[in-house]
Structure 1
């Protein structure tokens, strides 16, 4: 019986363990930290061997195959030793893809991938296709493959998940954009991060498709130097294509070999120019799998959007509170500030991933009246914006940050939580941070 070791007892790890067991592996789950009770209960239910708070090297090194959870860097000594011994180390996405014949739409990018994934899934599901949504969102892909029989998967995939692929091949791949993010995992080399994102196209053939933002110089520059096999379908707010998606006056045009769909911009449920692009990417993917024009139009006009992404929480005393906790990098916060039309009290901060805040400077000068820092280390934010805004306050808990923002904000203002940073200094994750924000606002 082949021996599968799963490093990490979270969503992707436990999903892989279940699928591995079903496919005839002896499975061992090892987590250096604590495993959450809900995952322990699942492992016990399936009778899967596990350990927490340590990695027992003897047990790990006996593996025929290792699935490494995306949160574990390649550089850790245990992973290096496995590679040195020629024990294959793969990602959950790679493991799961070996056990499904479903058509896969794989979506990655620094920003917009969750919204694009959810919208694509929404269109396919409403059109009546037998489709699952997984990856970096919701259930793990491996767990779905173990328990369901879908014809299509829409997968949100992070660069960390792509780093461990060998044969993974989506029929349709999407890169929404590439901006510096997670550089701490890529030795602070932007080129390595770009290469990681483009792994989504690595195994594609000429019968497959690649949808991408043709306004993104990073994407276009990489494609010029590294041609890929799949058929290119660009989208743009500035250029016009024979095949792809573009805007003309107030219209969006989605063109493939079959025909063209035309939609008015003002019918889109999602606001902001970046969401025009997310919609173009999702509509192109939906058109490639044969969804009817009417269904696509209808779905993009009634889509609710992703939680924690420019989510309007409440209006209190004519002040709008917006939860954009999912903005874990500078580029995401750029979109948020760009979409706000009123004077803004901006709640920002957390774990800095090598952020360069200067690109936000024009928007901060134009729109931000006060900054509320929410993080354990706010030095970089203070250095960058201290002389730019009239008021900068440091806080160390969400309740405190929201109360301070409430005192500062005046009629007609917006209070925007858009941290531009990871959440792990004060919160479990960005969802926890966003939920705490919403609760604190509701308690004002």
Structure 2
């Protein structure tokens, strides 16, 4: 009996444990922190051995294979020891792929992958296909494979998950939305290494599979010829009208061998130029899967934005409050500011990931009238923006932050929470940050 050790007792770890148990592995799960009660219950129901609050090396280093949760850094001492012993380390998406024949639509990118994955799932579900949504979006792919029998999976995949695929994870359709600097602390601060991780989504594809990518993304286009890609290439663009998948400010179209599709951009359910691009990627995939034009148009029109991603909260006294807490890097905030049409009071701050704010400066100069910092240490933000923005306020609770933003905004303006930083200095995660924002806005 092969021994599978799972490091991390969250959604992906527990899901993998349940699938491995079903497939007759000797399973052991170890989490250095505390495991949530709901996950402990699942482990106990399935009779899976586990430990929390420590990693007992004797019980881990004797594994045949190790599934590590995406949050555990490659540099961790335990991971180094496993590698020295030659133990195969893999991700949940790799392990689960062995046990399903479903067609996989995998979506990666520095920004927009949650929105695009949710939209893709919505399109397939509305068209009546037997489909599930999973991966990085918060539902375990492995657990679903263990318990259900879907024909299609739409998976949001991160670079960390792709780092630990081997030979099995092979999407029928792979979508790479964009590559901008993120998580560079995990890639020796080398942008190329991070970009190569994203391209691993194509690694096991063959000539019967499809690779959808963004012609307008500079890093993707710089790297694409350095990578061996065997699948059928399907680019999309908002710059080159000669391409099959193209959109501008008015027109949205995809020409495929199985028929052409077009609609007006203003009929799309999602707002913002970046979301036109995301919708285009999803539409290309939908045409590959033979979704009927009327179903595709309906789904693209009635899809609403994902929670914590440019999510309209309330309009109070003529001031719009928008929750974009999922913008945990500068590029995500760039897209948020780009899509703003009114004067903005911008809430920014949190745990800095080596941010370079020059990227958003043109939008800040043009659209932002005041900045409210929300973080333990806001010095970098204050120093960078004070030459350009007269009003910068520092706060370290969400209640204070929302009240200050409300005071600074006037009728016809927008209060935008788009922090450009991770949330762990003050919150449990970006969801907690977004939920607290919405709760405090409702109390105004």
Q: What is the match of residue 113 of structure 1?
A: 113
Deviations 1:326-375 (A, max 9, x none): 11111110111111111111110111111111111111111111111111
Q: What is the match of residue 229 of structure 2?
A: 228
Q: Measure the CA separation in 1 of the matches of 2:246 and 2:13.
A: 40
What's the TM-score, normalizing by structure 2? 0.98
Q: What is the match of residue 78 of structure 2?
A: 78
Q: Measure the CA separation in 1 of the matches of 2:382 and 2:102.
A: 49
Unpaired segments ≥5 residues, structure 2:
none
The range that moved more, 379-388 or 294-303, is 379-388
Q: What is the match of residue 423 of structure 2?
A: 423
Tell me the SS of whatever aligns to 1:345.
strand
Q: Is 1:12 equivalent to 2:12 in the alignment?
A: yes
Q: What is the match of residue 209 of structure 1?
A: 210
Q: Map 1:279-318; keep pairs closer than 5 Å.
A: 279-318=279-318
Q: Measure the CA separation in 2 of the matches of 1:250 and 1:239.
A: 14
How far apart are residue 138 of structure 1 and its match? 3.1
The range that moved more, 159-168 or 225-234, is 225-234
How far apart are residue 409 of structure 1 and its match? 1.1
Tell me the SS of whatever aligns to 2:119.
helix
Q: Measure the CA separation in 2 of the matches of 1:208 and 1:23.
A: 28
**Divergent runs of 4+, >4 A:** none
Q: Judging changes above 3 Å, is the alpha-carbon distance between structure 1 residues 87 and 227 closer, same or farther for their aligned structure 2 residues? A: closer
Tell me the SS of whatever aligns to 2:225.
helix
Q: Measure the CA separation in 2 of the matches of 1:344 and 1:247.
A: 27
Q: Map 1:1-400; keep pairs closer than 5 Å.
A: 1-167=1-167, 168-242=169-243, 244-247=244-247, 250-400=250-400
How many residues matched?
Answer: 443
Unpaired segments ≥5 residues, structure 1:
none
Q: Measure the CA separation in 2 of the matches of 1:256 and 1:178.
A: 26
Q: Measure the CA separation in 2 of the matches of 1:248 and 1:8.
A: 44
Q: Is 1:434 equivalent to 2:434 in the alignment?
A: yes
Q: Measure the CA separation in 2 of the matches of 1:129 and 1:48.
A: 33
Deviations 1:385-444 (A, max 9, x none): 022111111111111110111111111111000000111111111111101100000011
Tell me the SS of whatever aligns to 1:194.
helix
Q: Measure the CA separation in 2 of the matches of 1:377 and 1:145.
A: 43
Answer yes or no: is the 8 Å Cα contact 2:350–2:421 preserved in 1.
Answer: yes
Q: Measure the CA separation in 2 of the matches of 1:358 and 1:384.
A: 9
Answer yes or no: is the 8 Å Cα contact 2:373–2:395 preserved in 1.
Answer: yes
Tell me the SS of whatever aligns to 1:260.
strand
How far apart are residue 258 of structure 1 and its match? 2.1
Q: Judging changes above 3 Å, is the alpha-carbon distance between structure 1 residues 369 and 249 closer, same or farther for their aligned structure 2 residues? A: closer
The range that moved more, 254-263 or 409-418, is 254-263
Deviations 1:209-261 (A, max 9, x none): 1111101111111113324111111111111345x410267211102222211
Q: Measure the CA separation in 1 of the matches of 2:228 and 2:383.
A: 41
Q: Measure the CA separation in 2 of the matches of 1:57 and 1:44.
A: 22
How far apart are residue 141 of structure 1 and its match? 0.5
Q: What is the match of residue 409 of structure 2?
A: 409
Tell me the SS of whatever aligns to 1:233.
strand
Q: Measure the CA separation in 2 of the matches of 1:225 and 1:71.
A: 28
The range that moved more, 15-24 or 246-255, is 246-255
Tell me the SS of whatever aligns to 2:376.
coil
Answer yes or no: is the 8 Å Cα contact 2:247–2:277 preserved in 1.
Answer: no
Q: Measure the CA separation in 1 of the matches of 2:166 and 2:266.
A: 42
Deviations 1:117-143 (A, max 9, x none): 111111111111110100011311111
